[in-house]
Amino acid sequence: MKIKYWLMISYLVVMVLPMVAVYLLYISLSNYDQKQDLQEFLHFQEIVADLESELQDVSLYQGQPKENYRNLISLTDDHLKIDLYRSDGLHLFSSMNTLGTGQFQWTSQENLFRNLNEFQKNPRTYTMKQLVFDEQNQPIGLYEITLSRSKWVEATSTRTNMMFILLAGFFLIFYIIVLLAINRKLNQPLNQLQQHMKAFADGKKPTKPLAQPKDEIGVLIHHFEQMKAQIMETNEALRKQQREKEYMVASLSHDLKTPLTAVRAYTEALENHHLTEKEQQEYRHILYEKLDHMKEMINDLSVFTALQSAENRLNKVSVNGNEFFEMLFTGYEEACASKQITLTTEIAVKNGYMLDPKQMVRLLDNLMDNAVRYTPSGKQIWLAGISAKNPLPEWVFRAFRNEVDTWREDGTVILIQNEGKGMKQNQLTNVFQPFYQNESSRGKGSTSGLGLSIAKMIMEKHDGKIKIWSTEDKGTLIACWLKERGS
């Protein structure tokens, strides 16, 4: 549950629940008081009924010596009081007056006959007034019976104290529950997040994984984990780039030594005046080749470094498929013919693509350069662009056909296949690494070792992919996958 909804519900519970608790406690006490009140009222009625026969004696409402009232005094106690009045308002007797009838008081007629024949209840007493008639049915007096509710008062006081104690206990327990709920909902996740952030900042590994509740804190933890993963990924990428740069410097230094040594040697040889004109031309030709090779290595390094930069973005444009691939595949006939290699091309593509033409030309130049270099004289190279809806060419090696067909799904592939020595399986896993060369090529000035790495980076920047298949003593197939419009 989201925190804002949880807080809204919590506020409502905090406001309503105490009121409900007080109300329920009040209702329970009121019901108990009503039962007790009913019992007391019935008890008072029984007392009135028991005393009625004694108090109807007309002689009691005439002047009497106090001995005549001893029987009434014996019927009362500290909680029960009897008062006798004459009809003219003269107070004749009170069971609480231990002096007897010697002290007479007058009561006004209004007060005397107020609430007559009614059971009166107040917080401390029950009272009943009733007239007494003589034989001629004339009122000669009245009696008033008063029952003290001292036990009810004491019980009420006890219940009130108990109510306050229960309410205090309830509020204390409720307060503790609210604190625990807030601690579990807010404090614990925030403290764990703080600990994980501190551990991450200090480079330490946290002891417990972060739980992700389904609320705003969970979203915050999720974003923190994403940020943490991104920072770790960035740091790892920086470390990898640093290792690659160190390796690049070492590899470039090693690979430049051979042509530089050759340049120095042939330059010194040209200073020898005993060389023939033919030997001098041959040495100059070798120097140009070595210098071109060094230039190629430096250009490849420049391209590789530029493609690694996050600021380097492709300049994608919309191109016509057939026209672009025809342009892309031209220009390799001469290089193949010079080595007596047969080049076969095939184009079956869609009408439109979004790509960077300059980078795609660079890609194919690198791949075809490798193909021509490692294809013996008299062998073949096949070059094709095939969309997803068209079948693979028949010349694709059967050993790779099914796998390539699955791999190229929903995209257009550029296929470069050559006959030759092929590659070992352990070479296939490293072939896209920068400066990777097999042992037979390293040190001979054949390549910079960056061609396939650059091809892979170009394909990745096109949201594509590249893969190589090879069989020893048969040949190699390189496939580049391009996203088609609408896929």
Q: What is the pLDDT of residues 308-367, one digit of tens each?
A: 665 567 788 999 989 999 999 998 999 899 999 999 999 999 888 999 998 899 889 889
Helix or strand (DSSP H, E) at 142: strand 139-148
Q: Are 459 and 363 in contact (CB under 8 A)?
A: yes
Helix or strand (DSSP H, E) at 125: strand 125-133
Domains of the chain are: 3-154 (3.30.450.20), 212-312 (1.10.287.130), 315-483 (3.30.565.10)
d(CA 343, CA 329): 11
What pTM was estimated for this model as a whole? Answer: 0.49
Q: What tokens were used for 351? A: 């009408």
d(CA 479, CA 435): 21
Mean pLDDT, the chain, integer: 82
Q: Which long-range contacts (CB under 8 A, 24 or more apart) does 181-189 make?
A: 181/10, 182/10, 185/3, 185/6, 185/213, 185/215, 186/3, 186/217, 189/213, 189/217, 189/218, 189/221
Q: In terms of residues, how long is the chain?
A: 487
Strand order in 475-483's β-sheet? 342-348, 380-386, 411-419, 475-483, 465-471
Residue range 39-49: mean pLDDT, rounded: 86
Confidence of residue 486 (pLDDT cuts 50, 70, 90): low
Secondary structure of residue 396 in the 3-state scheme:
coil
Q: What is the pLDDT of residues 187-223, one digit of tens each?
A: 877 888 888 888 878 877 777 777 777 777 777 878 8
**Backbone φ and ψ of 129, nearest 5°:** -110, 140
Q: What is the pLDDT of residues 292-317, one digit of tens each?
A: 777 777 776 666 666 666 556 778 89
Confidence of residue 404 (pLDDT cuts 50, 70, 90): very high
Q: What is the pLDDT of residues 241-261, one digit of tens each?
A: 777 777 666 666 666 677 777
